Structure 1
Amino acid sequence: MDLHSGLPYWIIKNPLFDYYNPLKKDLETDIVIIGSGITGALMAHELCRTGLECCVVDKRSIATGSSAASTALLQYEIDVPLCRMAEQIGEKNAVTAYRSCLQSISDIEAVLKETD
Protein backbone atom coordinates (compact mmCIF):
# COMPACT_ATOMS: atom_id res chain seq x y z
CA MET A 1 0.00 0.00 0.00
CA ASP A 2 1.19 3.50 -0.80
CA LEU A 3 1.27 5.28 2.56
CA HIS A 4 2.07 8.59 0.93
CA SER A 5 -0.85 8.85 -1.51
CA GLY A 6 -2.71 11.43 0.54
CA LEU A 7 -5.88 9.36 0.30
CA PRO A 8 -7.69 7.77 3.23
CA TYR A 9 -6.98 4.05 3.65
CA TRP A 10 -10.63 3.04 3.23
CA ILE A 11 -10.94 4.76 -0.15
CA ILE A 12 -7.80 3.01 -1.39
CA LYS A 13 -8.96 -0.37 -0.03
CA ASN A 14 -12.56 -0.02 -1.28
CA PRO A 15 -12.60 2.52 -4.10
CA LEU A 16 -15.64 4.74 -4.19
CA PHE A 17 -16.72 6.03 -7.52
CA ASP A 18 -17.81 9.58 -7.99
CA TYR A 19 -21.50 8.75 -7.62
CA TYR A 20 -23.68 11.69 -6.85
CA ASN A 21 -26.86 13.02 -8.31
CA PRO A 22 -27.11 16.79 -8.39
CA LEU A 23 -30.52 18.13 -7.41
CA LYS A 24 -32.22 19.11 -10.68
CA LYS A 25 -35.60 20.25 -9.39
CA ASP A 26 -37.23 21.58 -6.26
CA LEU A 27 -37.75 19.07 -3.51
CA GLU A 28 -40.14 19.18 -0.57
CA THR A 29 -39.00 17.48 2.62
CA ASP A 30 -39.35 17.79 6.37
CA ILE A 31 -35.62 17.84 7.11
CA VAL A 32 -32.44 18.39 5.13
CA ILE A 33 -29.34 16.68 6.51
CA ILE A 34 -26.08 18.17 5.31
CA GLY A 35 -23.37 15.54 5.11
CA SER A 36 -23.60 11.92 3.97
CA GLY A 37 -21.11 10.40 6.38
CA ILE A 38 -21.87 8.12 9.30
CA THR A 39 -23.46 10.92 11.34
CA GLY A 40 -25.73 12.02 8.49
CA ALA A 41 -26.65 8.43 7.66
CA LEU A 42 -27.56 7.60 11.27
CA MET A 43 -29.54 10.83 11.61
CA ALA A 44 -31.48 10.03 8.43
CA HIS A 45 -32.14 6.50 9.64
CA GLU A 46 -33.52 7.62 13.00
CA LEU A 47 -35.59 10.49 11.59
CA CYS A 48 -37.07 8.36 8.80
CA ARG A 49 -37.95 5.69 11.37
CA THR A 50 -40.14 8.28 13.09
CA GLY A 51 -41.95 9.02 9.84
CA LEU A 52 -40.20 12.25 8.92
CA GLU A 53 -39.13 12.74 5.32
CA CYS A 54 -35.43 13.45 5.01
CA CYS A 55 -33.11 14.52 2.24
CA VAL A 56 -29.38 13.96 2.64
CA VAL A 57 -27.17 16.35 0.67
CA ASP A 58 -23.41 16.47 0.31
CA LYS A 59 -21.01 18.30 -1.96
CA ARG A 60 -19.01 15.10 -2.45
CA SER A 61 -19.71 11.44 -3.07
CA ILE A 62 -21.34 9.62 -0.18
CA ALA A 63 -19.18 9.10 2.94
CA THR A 64 -15.97 10.51 1.46
CA GLY A 65 -15.31 13.16 4.12
CA SER A 66 -14.14 12.49 7.64
CA SER A 67 -16.01 9.16 7.78
CA ALA A 68 -13.75 7.76 5.07
CA ALA A 69 -10.65 9.32 6.63
CA SER A 70 -11.26 7.77 10.05
CA THR A 71 -9.81 4.53 11.28
CA ALA A 72 -13.33 3.05 11.02
CA LEU A 73 -13.07 1.56 14.49
CA LEU A 74 -15.87 1.33 16.99
CA GLN A 75 -14.56 1.83 20.47
CA TYR A 76 -16.09 2.71 23.77
CA GLU A 77 -13.37 4.89 25.19
CA ILE A 78 -13.17 8.61 24.63
CA ASP A 79 -9.90 10.42 23.84
CA VAL A 80 -9.71 11.68 27.42
CA PRO A 81 -8.97 9.03 30.08
CA LEU A 82 -11.87 8.46 32.46
CA CYS A 83 -9.91 9.65 35.52
CA ARG A 84 -9.01 12.94 33.81
CA MET A 85 -12.53 13.46 32.53
CA ALA A 86 -13.88 12.87 36.05
CA GLU A 87 -11.63 15.67 37.28
CA GLN A 88 -12.92 17.96 34.53
CA ILE A 89 -16.67 17.29 34.60
CA GLY A 90 -17.26 15.18 37.69
CA GLU A 91 -17.29 11.43 38.16
CA LYS A 92 -21.01 10.94 37.48
CA ASN A 93 -20.90 12.85 34.16
CA ALA A 94 -17.67 11.15 33.09
CA VAL A 95 -19.05 7.68 33.79
CA THR A 96 -22.25 8.57 31.93
CA ALA A 97 -20.18 9.68 28.92
CA TYR A 98 -18.20 6.44 28.87
CA ARG A 99 -21.30 4.28 29.30
CA SER A 100 -23.02 6.19 26.48
CA CYS A 101 -20.08 5.48 24.19
CA LEU A 102 -20.21 1.80 25.10
CA GLN A 103 -23.98 1.73 24.49
CA SER A 104 -23.49 3.32 21.06
CA ILE A 105 -21.70 0.17 19.86
CA SER A 106 -24.76 -1.94 20.72
CA ASP A 107 -27.01 0.69 19.16
CA ILE A 108 -25.09 0.61 15.87
CA GLU A 109 -25.16 -3.19 15.91
CA ALA A 110 -28.95 -3.04 16.29
CA VAL A 111 -29.24 -0.65 13.33
CA LEU A 112 -27.14 -2.99 11.19
CA LYS A 113 -29.31 -5.97 12.10
CA GLU A 114 -32.50 -3.96 11.51
CA THR A 115 -31.40 -2.76 8.07
CA ASP A 116 -29.74 -6.05 7.10
Structure 2
Amino acid sequence: MIFTISFFLWITFFGRFTLASVVSGVLVSVLPQYISSRLIRSGPVFATAFKIILALPIAVFQAFRLIFSRPVFTVRSEKSPENRIVEFGKIISITMTPEEIVISKDREGLLIHEVKK
Protein backbone atom coordinates (compact mmCIF):
# COMPACT_ATOMS: atom_id res chain seq x y z
CA MET A 1 0.00 0.00 0.00
CA ILE A 2 2.76 2.45 0.95
CA PHE A 3 4.73 1.47 -2.14
CA THR A 4 1.72 2.23 -4.36
CA ILE A 5 1.00 5.58 -2.72
CA SER A 6 4.63 6.72 -2.88
CA PHE A 7 4.94 5.51 -6.48
CA PHE A 8 1.88 7.48 -7.61
CA LEU A 9 3.08 10.54 -5.71
CA TRP A 10 6.45 10.26 -7.44
CA ILE A 11 4.81 9.99 -10.87
CA THR A 12 2.57 12.98 -10.05
CA PHE A 13 5.47 15.15 -8.92
CA PHE A 14 7.66 13.99 -11.82
CA GLY A 15 5.16 15.51 -14.24
CA ARG A 16 5.37 12.98 -17.05
CA PHE A 17 4.77 9.27 -17.40
CA THR A 18 7.97 8.09 -19.05
CA LEU A 19 10.27 5.12 -18.66
CA ALA A 20 12.65 7.23 -16.54
CA SER A 21 9.83 8.33 -14.23
CA VAL A 22 8.62 4.74 -13.77
CA VAL A 23 12.10 3.35 -13.06
CA SER A 24 13.00 6.18 -10.68
CA GLY A 25 9.56 5.92 -9.05
CA VAL A 26 10.06 2.21 -8.37
CA LEU A 27 13.54 2.84 -6.96
CA VAL A 28 12.38 5.71 -4.76
CA SER A 29 9.24 3.87 -3.56
CA VAL A 30 11.15 0.81 -2.37
CA LEU A 31 12.69 2.79 0.51
CA PRO A 32 9.41 3.84 2.22
CA GLN A 33 8.05 0.34 1.69
CA TYR A 34 11.10 -1.20 3.35
CA ILE A 35 11.06 1.26 6.28
CA SER A 36 7.32 0.87 6.85
CA SER A 37 7.55 -2.93 6.79
CA ARG A 38 10.10 -2.72 9.60
CA LEU A 39 8.19 -0.15 11.70
CA ILE A 40 4.52 -1.05 11.25
CA ARG A 41 3.19 -4.52 11.90
CA SER A 42 0.70 -5.81 9.37
CA GLY A 43 -2.97 -5.37 10.09
CA PRO A 44 -6.40 -5.10 8.51
CA VAL A 45 -5.64 -2.23 6.10
CA PHE A 46 -8.74 -2.56 3.93
CA ALA A 47 -11.08 -2.94 6.91
CA THR A 48 -9.54 0.18 8.45
CA ALA A 49 -9.93 2.15 5.21
CA PHE A 50 -13.54 0.95 4.94
CA LYS A 51 -14.21 2.08 8.53
CA ILE A 52 -12.82 5.54 7.71
CA ILE A 53 -15.00 5.79 4.58
CA LEU A 54 -18.08 4.77 6.59
CA ALA A 55 -17.36 7.61 9.04
CA LEU A 56 -17.76 10.26 6.29
CA PRO A 57 -21.61 10.40 6.26
CA ILE A 58 -21.63 10.51 10.06
CA ALA A 59 -19.18 13.43 9.98
CA VAL A 60 -21.37 15.39 7.55
CA PHE A 61 -24.50 14.73 9.64
CA GLN A 62 -22.75 15.78 12.85
CA ALA A 63 -21.44 18.96 11.23
CA PHE A 64 -24.97 20.06 10.27
CA ARG A 65 -26.29 19.11 13.70
CA LEU A 66 -23.58 21.17 15.43
CA ILE A 67 -24.31 24.21 13.28
CA PHE A 68 -27.96 24.29 14.35
CA SER A 69 -27.65 23.26 18.03
CA ARG A 70 -26.28 24.46 21.33
CA PRO A 71 -23.26 22.27 22.18
CA VAL A 72 -22.39 20.61 25.49
CA PHE A 73 -18.80 19.59 26.11
CA THR A 74 -17.88 16.23 27.68
CA VAL A 75 -14.81 14.04 28.05
CA ARG A 76 -14.58 10.26 27.90
CA SER A 77 -11.86 7.65 27.84
CA GLU A 78 -11.76 4.67 25.51
CA LYS A 79 -9.44 1.67 25.36
CA SER A 80 -6.86 1.90 22.61
CA PRO A 81 -6.69 -1.03 20.13
CA GLU A 82 -3.58 -3.23 20.23
CA ASN A 83 -2.86 -3.15 16.49
CA ARG A 84 -1.39 0.17 15.29
CA ILE A 85 -3.29 0.12 12.00
CA VAL A 86 -6.61 -0.42 13.78
CA GLU A 87 -5.63 2.31 16.25
CA PHE A 88 -4.83 4.68 13.37
CA GLY A 89 -8.21 4.00 11.76
CA LYS A 90 -10.00 4.54 15.07
CA ILE A 91 -8.24 7.85 15.71
CA ILE A 92 -8.90 9.11 12.17
CA SER A 93 -12.57 8.09 12.22
CA ILE A 94 -13.04 9.77 15.62
CA THR A 95 -11.14 12.92 14.68
CA MET A 96 -12.93 13.48 11.37
CA THR A 97 -16.32 13.63 13.06
CA PRO A 98 -16.97 17.19 14.31
CA GLU A 99 -18.52 16.07 17.59
CA GLU A 100 -15.43 14.20 18.78
CA ILE A 101 -11.71 14.81 18.85
CA VAL A 102 -8.93 12.62 20.26
CA ILE A 103 -6.84 14.76 22.55
CA SER A 104 -4.23 12.29 23.72
CA LYS A 105 -3.21 8.66 23.74
CA ASP A 106 -1.51 7.09 26.71
CA ARG A 107 -1.16 3.63 28.20
CA GLU A 108 -4.72 3.63 29.52
CA GLY A 109 -6.28 4.50 26.17
CA LEU A 110 -7.60 7.42 24.17
CA LEU A 111 -8.85 10.61 25.82
CA ILE A 112 -11.75 11.85 23.68
CA HIS A 113 -13.36 15.26 24.01
CA GLU A 114 -16.94 15.39 22.75
CA VAL A 115 -19.27 18.18 21.73
CA LYS A 116 -22.80 16.84 22.01
CA LYS A 117 -26.26 18.33 22.13
User: TM range, normalised to the smaller chain?
Assistant: under 0.3
Q: Which has a greater percent of helix?
A: 2
Who wins on radius of gyration, i.e. which is larger? 2
